[in-house]
Amino acid sequence: MALLTVFLFPTKAFSHLDDEFMALGNVMRKIGWMQAACSFYDLGYMSKSSAQIVLEATIQNFERENSNEVADRATKSVIQKYPNCSEIMP
């Protein structure tokens, strides 16, 4: 019966994987916002204060929805890619 359930209702059988992929997708989306803010700041398309607002909001979102460790790791990865962003990172 369980095998039949997998074929008839595959979303229920793999729903735990959907949650993990959604969580990973959300982390990558937030890192993308941080990278965009740093990139636009480096290119001069975004002011320092606007970039700091985006970075601060994204880090707070990480801390609220994930953890402080995830926020720290994301921050370090963005700074590694955009070293000039370290001066505006909250």
Q: pLDDT higher for 69 or 5? A: 69
Q: Let me know if residue 26 belongs to a domain.
A: no
Sign of CA dihedral 67, 70, 73, 78: negative
Q: pLDDT higher for 70 or 18? A: 70
The total number of structural domains that make up the chain:
1
Q: Let me know if residue 2 belongs to a domain.
A: no
b/e per residue 2-27 (b: at least 16 CB within 10 A): eeeeeeeeeeeeeeeeeeeeeeeeeb
Q: Let me know if residue 63 belongs to a domain.
A: yes
Tens digits of residue pLDDT in 25-61: 788 899 999 999 999 999 999 999 999 999 999 999 9
Residue range of the domain that includes 89: 34-90
Q: Let me know if residue 67 belongs to a domain.
A: yes
Q: Let me know if residue 85 belongs to a domain.
A: yes
Task: Give the model's pLDDT for residue 90.
Answer: 86
**Neighbouring residues of 90: CB distance < 8 A, sequence distance ≥ 6:** 52, 55, 56, 59
- Number of residues assigned to the chain: 90
Q: pLDDT higher for 32 or 16? A: 32
Q: Let me know if residue 44 belongs to a domain.
A: yes
Q: Let me know if residue 77 belongs to a domain.
A: yes
Entry pTM: 0.75
Task: Give the model's pLDDT for residue 77.
Answer: 94
